[in-house]
Amino acid sequence: MTDIKVFVIGIDAATFDLMDPWIEAGRLPHIKSLMDRGCSGVLESSLPPLSPVAWPSLYTGVNPGKHGIFDFVERAKSGTGVSFLNRSHCKAPPLWRYLNKAGYRTGIVNVPMTFPPDPVDGFLVSGLDTPSVRSAFTYPPGLKDDIIAAAGKYIVELEHSPRLMDDPGRYLDMMFEMVDVREKTVHHLMSHAPVDFFMVVFTATDRVQHTYWKYIDPQHPDYRPGFEDAILRVYERVDAAVGRMLERLDPSAGVVIVSDHGMSGIYKSVDLNGLLREKGYLHLKEDPFSRAYDFYRRAKRRLLKTKEILWFDHFVDWKRTKAYHIGSWGNIYINLKGRDPQGIVNPGKEYGTVRESIAEELLRLRDPANGKQVILDVKRKEDIFTGDHLAHAPDLVILWNDHYNCVKTVHENMRARTRSLLQPCGVICADHHPDGIFIISSPQVKQGVRRLRAQITDIAPTILSLMHVEVPPSMDGRVLTELFDGEVREKRSVRYGGDAPGNGDGEEVAYSGEDAEMIAERLRNLGYIE
């Protein structure tokens, strides 16, 4: 048995839409046992429900307006492109910092947005934002060689792109291997690096749903038979790993299972920058460099060797552009004077008028094939975010209707002029849904309570309360007191205290040119950018 007091297992993109029938059929017995012995329900994700936004919201307990991450990328502060984000861009402290302050040792494995690894009292193995296994992705640094030796290898992410593969069986085997290596790493650390709090994230569930959803959805335009059980098999692999990890915990330990968001099928993608161009809000330059770059891109698909993708400089006519879309979800930015380097829209009345006009255009968008409204709602940033980073938040955030998402614009696709505004979904046949999951099992909580709802920011303060640590008042989330057993709730009250030292205000660490290329290639392979 270990001394772990709370064990958190992230199952990226897990959704009860798929899990409920599998649980009832007995296919996920270990997850079901946790549900029977605890409380579970839908975990409402961040907006946008993207991993680099949602995981920091979960582990800091604050909204993106406070932690400062709104997508995989942001417009570079120099105004000369876009930069890929990492842990150093998160401006709020993670819950393990509060636990360390309270005297607890913590172990973190594969949590997105934890690179470069921050010193902790315990250990940290960084996640999705790690460029490669050649990077310094562990704290302490010597842990890297230790876990590679113990597991035989370490996998940050899948090494090959499904875009480059015509063998879905092989890609599925690679996902199984990624789960297995992650589990071996966890067992080694449980044996050799004792901690009080352990958190690990399994990402294969996200990857398999993104690319194999078409095999389980007969209505999908790209539906095909042959791998109908692929997604289930990955969930079963993770469930089996969960069971083996639980065997090593003391019965008094609390177990928390979470997903950062859910998943649902995607049939069509919207070219938002194309729409903005069509409506006169975005304009492109015509110059010899941009035409040469088109040829360069077709000749050899690779990124410029720079930490920033430079399409802004060379493609966009900022003197005439009032708005643009960037990123993986549907974040619209106004080209605002005083904020954007070449801003032309005045703050105040003009800003409000332009923003409302764009929102109206977005809500008018219909799918010509069926007349369906593509966008359910368009949120103004001040309606969904609060905090010191509100000024740099996207000015509009889209809520998509079922089966639609956006073209994942980062760079060269801005140049496309012949594409339809609504395009086939491509290799990514499913995308993120705001409804994730949570399961909390502990002697302190009620048993067998299901169909609850919580916010993603509620997880951090609830974990702190489970470990009898003061909850900082700066957290937006609340302690889920309704989960606690009556006797436990009567004997205890939520304790609030001061913030941890160093509230994520350290220096931002930019990727090197080579590392930025590796991150860009990974995100492209996963379908998060184009």
Digit-coded pLDDT (tens) for 17-28: 999 999 999 999
**Cis, peptide link before residue 56, omega less than 30° from 0:** no
Instruction: Give the 3-state secondary structure percentages of the chain, helix then strand then coil, rounded to 5.
Output: 35, 20, 45
Q: What pLDDT score was predicted for residue 507?
A: 83
* Position 146 in a domain: no
* Position 141 in a domain: no
pLDDT score of 414 more than 70: no
Q: What pLDDT score was predicted for residue 504?
A: 57
pLDDT interval class at 216 (50, 70, 90) = very high
Residues facing residue 122 across a β-bridge = 106
Q: What pLDDT score was predicted for residue 76?
A: 77
User: Using one digit for the tens of pLDDT, what is the confidence trace for 373-398?
Assistant: 999 999 999 999 999 999 999 999 99
Q: What pLDDT score was predicted for residue 339?
A: 94
Q: Which two tokens stand for residue 210?
A: 């993104």
Q: What pLDDT score was predicted for residue 521?
A: 85
- CA dist., res. 212 & res. 205, Å (int): 10
Q: What pLDDT score was predicted for residue 9?
A: 99
User: Using one digit for the tens of pLDDT, what is the confidence trace for 283-307?
Assistant: 998 754 455 445 445 444 444 444 4
User: Using one digit for the tens of pLDDT, what is the confidence trace for 220-233?
Assistant: 999 999 999 999 99
Phi, psi values for residue 130, rounded to 5°:
-80, 125
Q: What pLDDT score was predicted for residue 496?
A: 81
Q: Range with the lowest mean pLDDT among 76-85, 92-101, 125-134, 170-179?
A: 76-85
The number of beta carbons lying within 10 Å of the beta carbon of residue 399 is 16
pLDDT interval class at 473 (50, 70, 90) = very high
Q: 7: phi > 0 → left, psi -120 to 50 → alpha, else beta; which?
A: beta
Q: Are 500 and 38 in contact (CB under 8 A)?
A: no
pLDDT score of 511 more than 50: yes
pLDDT interval class at 479 (50, 70, 90) = very high
Q: What pLDDT score was predicted for residue 185?
A: 99
pLDDT score of 501 more than 80: no
- CA dist., res. 59 & res. 54, Å (int): 9
pLDDT interval class at 80 (50, 70, 90) = low
Q: What is the mean pLDDT of residues 38-46?
A: 99
pLDDT score of 419 more than 70: no
Residues in contact with 210: Cβ distance below 8 Å, sequence separation at least 6, in sequence order = 13, 263, 428, 429, 430, 431, 526, 527
* Position 226 in a domain: no
User: How many domains in the chain?
Assistant: 1
Q: Are 422 and 368 in contact (CB under 8 A)?
A: yes
* Position 177 in a domain: no
Q: What is the mean pLDDT of residues 29-50?
A: 99
Question: To the nearest whole number, what is the mean pLDDT of the chain?
Answer: 91
* Position 306 in a domain: yes
* Position 378 in a domain: yes
Q: Range with the lowest mean pLDDT among 111-115, 152-156, 284-288?
A: 284-288
- CA dist., res. 192 & res. 122, Å (int): 11
Q: What is the mean pLDDT of residues 325-343?
A: 95
Q: What pLDDT score was predicted for residue 495?
A: 78
Distance (Å) of CA 510 to CA 56, 126, 303, 340, 524? 18, 16, 17, 20, 19
Q: What is the pTM of this model?
A: 0.94
pLDDT score of 184 more than 80: yes
Output Rg (C-alpha) for the chain, integer angstroms.
23
Q: Range with the lowest mean pLDDT among 132-141, 150-159, 163-172, 263-272?
A: 163-172
* Position 278 in a domain: yes
- CA dist., res. 389 & res. 272, Å (int): 24
Q: What pLDDT score was predicted for residue 41?
A: 99
Helix (H, G, I), strand (E, B) or coil at 109: strand
User: For residue 337, what are the domain limits?
Assistant: 267-427
* Position 346 in a domain: yes
Q: Are 227 and 215 in contact (CB under 8 A)?
A: yes
Q: Which two tokens stand for residue 376?
A: 């359910």
